[in-house]
């Protein structure tokens, strides 16, 4: 028995939104390696062309559609293309999202900022998922995976609206899992901690004076990589591996949520829950003390 036999995904169809870079790209390529036929929605033309080439090079049966999933008409066109090419959908990965969006005290945030964050972090998930459900039901079931963030499970200052929409993904995931269970449609989420992607180039941004501290910030001493979250998506996509898992969130965070505020001391022998560096480690030093940046 090979890996594809174990996963049970060979020939099935996955749709990954925002699949041109970062976690979305890593997920699309990993699902293709697992034998899936892959559709990708990507807003950026250059990234769309890159992932189209990468999937073709990998020998995948793939469809890449340039689409802004914040727009209902683009979502409709995406599913028309999906139906014309594959005629079914087994796995939906709602990957699109905006890292933090803006950083400001909540009282200074605007309605326009709220609406922009709502569109990219939550509304599009509603729209894409609503279109996906009939496809999955017609095919006898499926798996929906929503990309969230660890910030949905802990407080984060200066990005209150972003974190609120991400927390709403948890409620959406749980309630939809209950609603669709009888249709053999599982709904779960993946919540990464800080991950090196096109949006967040975390490791290189750490000031040299703090770079040695990275190994102490997380129990597994590094920032995340896109492949870490892609692996969690693969697990949740496979009925063979996670067929009785629904309504839950996989925290891909190197143990950070479990650790809370606890970090290793510089000597590696002890622990502290008090700050051991200034700022967050990857905000440029000149902005450390400016609450509006």
Q: Cα 48 to chain center, whole Å?
A: 18
Q: Which of 99, 118, 162, 282 is catalytic?
A: 162
3-287 has which CATH code?
Answer: 3.40.50.720
Residue 131: phi and psi, rounded to 5, are -70, -30
Q: Tell me what pLDDT residue 265 has.
A: 84
Q: pTM for this one?
A: 0.93
* Of 15, 26, 58, nearest in space to 232 by CA: 26
* Of 160, 208, 223, nearest in space to 22 by CA: 223
162 is catalytic: yes
pLDDT digits (tens, 9 = 90+) for 225-258: 999 999 999 999 999 999 999 999 999 999 999 9
Would you call 161 exposed, middle or buried from its count of C-beta atoms within 10 A (0-12, 13-18, 19+)?
buried
Please tell me the distance from the alpha carbon of residue 224 to that of residue 194, in angstroms, as a whole number. 6
Q: Tell me what pLDDT residue 281 has.
A: 63
The percent of residues above 70 in pLDDT, for the chain, comes to 92
Q: Tell me what pLDDT residue 182 has.
A: 98
Q: Could you give the C-alpha distances from 65 to 44, 80, 114, 234, in angstroms and in order?
A: 10, 11, 27, 22
* Of 115, 121, 67, 82, nearest in space to 98 by CA: 121
Q: Which residues of the chain have pLDDT under 50?
A: 293
- Residue 70, SS3 per DSSP: coil
Q: Tell me what pLDDT residue 43 has.
A: 97
């Amino acid at each position: 028995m090979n890996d594809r036999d174990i996963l049970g995904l060979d020939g099935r169809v996955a749709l990954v939104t925002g699949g041109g870079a970062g976690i979305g790209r890593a997920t699309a390529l990993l699902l293709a390696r697992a034998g899936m036929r892959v559709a990708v929605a990507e807003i950026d033309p250059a990234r769309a062309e890159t992932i189209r080439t990468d999937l073709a090079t990998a020998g995948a049966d793939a469809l890449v559609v340039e689409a802004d999933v914040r727009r209902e008409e683009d979502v409709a066109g995406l599913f028309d293309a999906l139906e014309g090419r594959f005629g079914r959908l087994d796995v939906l990965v709602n990957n699109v999202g905006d890292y933090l969006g803006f950083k400001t005290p909540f009282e200074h945030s605007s309605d326009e900022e709220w609406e922009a964050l709502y569109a990219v972090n939550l509304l599009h998930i509603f729209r894409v998922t609503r279109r996906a459900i009939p496809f999955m039901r017609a095919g006898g079931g499926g798996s929906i995976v929503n990309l969230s963030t660890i910030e949905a499970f802990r407080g984060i200052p200066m990005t209150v609206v972003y974190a609120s929409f991400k927390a709403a993904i948890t409620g959406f995931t749980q309630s939809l899992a209950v609603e669709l269970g009888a249709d053999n449609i599982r709904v779960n989420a993946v919540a990464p901690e800080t991950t090196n992607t096109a949006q967040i180039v975390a490791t290189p941004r750490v000031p040299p004076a703090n770079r040695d501290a990275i190994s102490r910030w997380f129990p597994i001493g590094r920032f995340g990589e896109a492949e870490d979250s892609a692996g969690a998506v693969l697990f949740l996509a496979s009925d063979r591996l996670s067929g009785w898992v629904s309504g839950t969130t996989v925290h891909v965070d190197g143990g950070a949520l479990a650790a809370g505020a606890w970090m290793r001391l510089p000597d590696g022998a002890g622990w502290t829950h008090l700050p051991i560096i200034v700022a967050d480690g990857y905000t440029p030093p000149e902005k450390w003390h400016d609450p509006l940046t």
